[in-house]
Amino acid sequence: MTGLLYRGLARLPLAWLYGLSNCVAVLLQHVIRYRRQTVEDNLKQAFPDASEHWRRDIRRTFYGNLCDTTVEIISGSRQPKSFFTDRMTISNPELLEDLSQQGQQSVLVMLAHQGNWEWMLHRAAAQYDMPMAFVYKRLHSAAADEFSLRARGRFGASAIEMRETARNFIRHRRTPRLIYMLADQSPGARERVYVTHFLNRQTAFFSGAATLAKATGFPVAYARCRRLRRGYFDIELIEICRDPVEMGEDGILQRYAELTEASIRECPDDWLWSNRRWKHQVPTAADNEGSASSSSESQSKPES
């Protein structure tokens, strides 16, 4: 039933969907109060010196952007490549061409939940000739998960489930690809992490992206998405490193955290504040060392 709803909504003009977004944003914020306390707590922690009026405005705009992003993703599931070329500019597309050695080398592209992260994948498909892949975590709703995978893969991008990432990277290490990974989610309680100061508190980042970059030698880039106006975006590509071995895992993750925080502080209403980003206790150095040891042991087990 949910899948039918998504496909039905995707047939509507985007302008109509934006009208629906306006109504749902009000309901989410004031009636359903979808994760309202989480949003308020996250904003207060990140911007303790801001006024209540300022944080209220950011909260209101956030709910509008969240609903806009949702209907944009639904609409994008049926749009041609030219739609994304018209609505998303890439200010420096040559960076990925350079890092990939003109398509001869895989590149890991780290993203954040800002702007429209789903449209970025489609825009890249319109720009580059290289095969693409995206790392994903299964959604709780089977229908939403199926719709999301179908929408993301419609221009040929292959899906890599998070728990299969290491195996997939090893299996396809000789195939040049652009590999996209959202890396600002809350890591699991037992996952190997890197801890740094982020948005005014100690924050754990899943270390898998940096670990895989170092293991494969793939250069790493950051893709930043700015919402210019409703339905229009600009993508800026920023080099994190060309040699992940030289920079090291901690260096890669620290640079990613700094770039993500800078993007959020510049456009604070456009990050996913409803995400329970800090739901797990940040591990101590000893805890993380134990987690790293456990992770290394599990990764070293031979495939059955």
Using the CB atoms, write b or e for 267-280: b if 16+ within 10 Å.
Answer: bbbbbbbbbebbee
- The model's confidence at residue 1, banded by pLDDT at 50, 70 and 90, is low
pLDDT tens readout for residues 207-232: 999 999 999 999 999 999 999 999 99
The total domain count for the chain is 1
Distances (CA, A) of 30 to 43, 59, 60, 222, 276: 17, 11, 10, 35, 19
pLDDT at 104 over 80: yes
163 within some domain: yes
pTM beyond 0.75, yes or no: yes
CA 88 to chain centre: 17
pLDDT of residue 141: 78
Q: Which domain holds residue 105?
A: 2-297
Q: What is the DSSP string of 194-210?
A: EEEEETTEEEEEE-HHH
pLDDT at 101 over 50: yes
252 within some domain: yes
Range 103-108 average pLDDT = 97
303 within some domain: no
304 within some domain: no
116 within some domain: yes
- The model's confidence at residue 300, banded by pLDDT at 50, 70 and 90, is very low
pLDDT of residue 12: 97
> Residue 79 and residue 71: Cα distance in Å, rounded?
13
Range 228-243 average pLDDT = 98
pLDDT tens readout for residues 147-186: 888 889 999 999 999 889 989 998 998 999 999 999 999 8
236 within some domain: yes
302 within some domain: no
> Residue 282 and residue 287: Cα distance in Å, rounded?
9
pLDDT of residue 229: 97
156 within 8 A of 163, measured Cβ to Cβ: no
pLDDT of residue 290: 43
47 within some domain: yes
> Residue 296 and residue 231: Cα distance in Å, rounded?
43
Of 275, 288, 281, the residue nearest 112 (C-alpha): 275
95 or 146: which carries more pLDDT confidence?
95
